[in-house]
Copies of this chain bind each other. A is one copy, B any other.
Amino acid sequence: MLEQFKKHLDKFIKVSDDEFTDITGYFEPQTLKKKENLLTEGQICKASYFVLDGIIRKFFINEKGVQQTTEFAIENWWMTETFSYINQTPTEFYIQAVQPTEILVIRQNAFNDLMENHPVMEKYFRMVYQKAYAAAQMRVKMLYEHSREELYRQFLKNQPAFLQRVPQYLIASYLGFTPEYLSEIRKKNFS
């Protein structure tokens, strides 16, 4: 598992085996059951999560009481609720395992110590957040530009592997429509 994290880091920065061993000391492995929550509305987010195996998602509960998924993270992706994390304010989001999932957790204090003691990790997280911001920027554009149905077609085109792994009702939740509507669109697209 840690080998996988090393391979991932190697894509961004150069870290010797000794330094990597030290770096891993800042992380804790955690195993999540399906639907287990890492964060619930009202809590203050005090950690970041790196997915080793499985899928986690971020969602909020909208005015109608419906779960609206805004983000997924699969292997080698990070997830945290950055707004709550930075400002130390109660979150409006949930972070939850979609299926049994293995993650690495880094708590905020450990993160700050890691930055202090291994500045090379600043470069790594600068690039991680740069990529996350780039994706979010394109997400905002898509939400402005496309109808819900077009969003589904885009998703189908850009993320086919994802679609096969995530249950239909969560895809619907991500795209902002009911499972019934998704089912209708799917019939239309495949007929």
**Complex CA distance for A178 and B133, rounded to whole angstroms:** 28
A136 within 8 A of B: yes
Q: How many copies does the complex hold?
A: 2
Output the least CB separation between A183 and chain B (Å).
Answer: 21
Which residue on B lies nearest to A115, using beta carbons? Answer: B123
B62 and A138 contact, CB distance less than 8 A: no
Contact-size category for A: 35 or more
* Nearest-CB residue, chain B, relative to A139: B140
Interface majority SS on A: helix, strand, loop or mixed?
Answer: helix
- Set of chain B residues within 8 Å of A131, measured between Cβ atoms: 86
Residues of B with C-beta under 8 A to A81: 137
Out of B63, B126, B137, B176, name the residue touching A125 (CB < 8 Å): B126
In the assembly, what is the distance between CA of A122 and CA of B87, in Å? 21
- Nearest CB of B to A84, in Å: 9
Additional A-B contacts beyond A60-B145, A119-B122, A140-B140 (9; CB < 8 A): A68-B144, A83-B135, A119-B123, A126-B129, A129-B129, A133-B136, A139-B140, A140-B143, A144-B176
